[in-house]
Amino acid sequence: MQVGDLVRWSRQWLRGCSSDLLGEREHYKKQVGIILQPVEEPRNCWRVLWSDEDVCDVHYDYLEVIDESR
């Protein structure tokens, strides 16, 4: 993974969604993000801008690369 890669939530992370009462799992399945930058703390995380305009720090285990920016 590197800055500029397009990503989605990993299957592992989606399986961990505790409740789908409000369609949360489906919402997250549809999201696409772009990696903005690496994050020092918490370790092994990337700052991601999601298609719903949310920005959050996500551990690399919870991301899957859709398209690499290379």
Indicate whether 44 belongs to any domain: yes
CATH number of domain containing 60: 2.30.30
pTM: 0.84
Task: Look at residue 20 and tell me whether its pLDDT is greater than 80.
Answer: no
Task: Look at residue 31 and tell me whether its pLDDT is greater than 90.
Answer: yes
More confident residue, 58 or 67: 58
* Number of domains present in the structure of the chain: 1
Indicate whether 37 belongs to any domain: yes
Indicate whether 49 belongs to any domain: yes
Q: 44: domain range?
A: 6-67
Indicate whether 1 belongs to any domain: no
Which tens digits make up the pLDDT trace of 34-63? 999 999 998 999 999 999 999 999 999 999
Angle at 29 between CA 7 and CA 54, to 5 degrees: 65
Rg of the chain over all Cα atoms, to the nearest angstrom? 12
Phi-psi region of 4 (alpha: psi -120 to 50; beta: other; left: phi over 0): left
**What is the chain's length?**
70
Task: Look at residue 8 and tell me whether its pLDDT is greater than 90.
Answer: yes
Indicate whether 22 belongs to any domain: yes
What's the maximum distance between 2 C-alpha atoms anywhere in the chain?
A: 38
Query: Residue 50: what are its φ and ψ, rounded to 5°?
Result: -95, 160
